[in-house]
Structure 1
Amino acid sequence: MFQNYMRRLFWLILGVAVSSIGIAMMLQANVGLEPWSVLQQGMSLRTGMTYGTASAIAGAAAILTAVLFGESFGFGTIINIAGCAVIIDAIQAAHLIPQMHGLVSGIAMLIGGLELLALGTWLYMKSALGSGPRDALMVALARKFGRSAGVCRAVVDVLVTVIGFFLGGPVGVGTIISAVGLGPLINLNFAAVRFKPAKVHQENAAETIARIAGKR
């Protein structure tokens, strides 16, 4: 049991780290951000908080809304929210990734970041320690309103993009590329490693505690 959880925790932390690097690359691409990043960067620019802090607040709000609608969360969800915030801020503070100033180089950086985000999503999901906060929100909204998760995601993506734009978040060609390309890129990565997320049960916090305590 202990070794199993250590292995899953390893994949979880690696996934969070890889995803965070991808998000930092997208920030430095300087050609527009994906919807949630537009919101989070807008929050950062408007309030002076770091991007990581804004990311943590947005993630916490997403999972809180999902919980209010009856969705559960796992310890991996919490690690996802906190880990991404810390790692992204550390990367940005250390200036590890240079900012792009050309359209071609910016798009190349953005696509590289999207690929790392897709890869990190696979690593995170294979740990099966809880849904990501935004994924949990999509599922909760789909159940609440009787719509598909895809429709709910599209509506939320438009909403957070608009709010982020009015807060000063960067919207550009990268926003369109991210909105259109991230889903198919994730699917391509999943297909390449033969990963079927629908067949993976994401363990919630109560289940994890029960299993560690030997009750399940």
Structure 2
Amino acid sequence: MSDRMKDIIRRTLVMLPDIPVMALGVAMYTFANLGGDPFTSFQQGISLRTGIPMGYSSMACNIGILIIFLFINRKMIHVGSIVFSFGLGPFINLWLALFEKIFPNGLEGNPVVRYLFPIIGTLVIIVTLAYYLPIDLGIQALDMIAITIGEKLLHKTYGWGLYITYGVMFVIAILMGAPWGFGTLVATFCVGKGVDIVRPRIAPTIQKWCGIKPAASTAENS
């Protein structure tokens, strides 16, 4: 086995635990029904319009963006992009099914837990995004857009790109009739800045696990 292949396998193994955890954050937004982050709301809008389960609308959305970036900037696509595109959706469905068993009547009768769900979900999303970006093994669909806008076009941070991406997706989600509210506001104002704060602090540790030097990461220097 070549050194390059060993490197890809090692980075993939470091990345894999991030997928079900990130899906947990998305599922917490969705189950609370207080509005998710704008990307989740966008996917919920697709789900409402098509009637397909939330997890599958997430998968379809991610794959669609992935196909677009095959023509725009295929350098952003790698093993991680494929894993996230196909892996997040099924895990979102699994988490939602688990929540439905734990809370068969939903969270409307438990306002404290209901409002905690999107707050915890936001923290989960921040950490999982900050965790996987330094691995530099391809990025998921949403981050392709955010990095392209924030770092490539505006020459600013990932967070700036995410704010703009979220703004556009939020408008489209509302037009599709997707729910929005407390969770949407928390995510919109906290995720981008949160990732900008957390990412540089944990990147050296994540890269050490991957066996790469921080300077070798194109994701950090793009």
TM above 0.5: yes
* TM-score category, normalised to shorter length: 0.7 to 0.9
CA distance in 1, matches of 2:35, 2:66: 25
2:123 is the alignment partner of 1:115: yes
2:132 is the alignment partner of 1:128: no
Correspondence 1:70-149 to 2 at 5 A = 70-72=73-75, 73-94=77-98, 95=100, 98=103, 99-101=106-108, 102-141=110-149, 148=156
Contact 2:85 2:141 in 1 (8 A): yes
- 2:29 is matched with 26
Correspondence 1:146-165 to 2 at 5 A = 148=156, 152-165=161-174
Question: Which structure carries more relative contact order (alpha carbon 8 Å, separation 6+)?
Answer: 1
**C-alpha displacement of 1:136:** 1.4
Output the TM-score relative to the length of structure 1. Answer: 0.79
CA RMSD of aligned residues (A): 2.8
2:83 is the alignment partner of 1:45: no
CA displacement 1:152-192 (0-9 Å, x = unmatched): 53333222112212222111121111100112332343355
Show structure 1 runs of 5+ residues with no match: 203-216
CA distance in 2, matches of 1:134, 1:186: 14
Show structure 2 runs of 5+ residues with no match: 208-213
CA 150–9 in structure 1, closer or farther in 2 if over 3 Å, else same: closer
Contact 1:15 1:119 in 2 (8 A): no
CA 66–97 in structure 1, closer or farther in 2 if over 3 Å, else same: farther
The AA in structure 2 aligned to 1:61 is G
CA displacement 1:78-111 (0-9 Å, x = unmatched): 1011110111112223436644224442221111
2:71 is the alignment partner of 1:54: no
% same residue: 21
- 1:211 is matched with none
Q: How many residues align?
A: 202
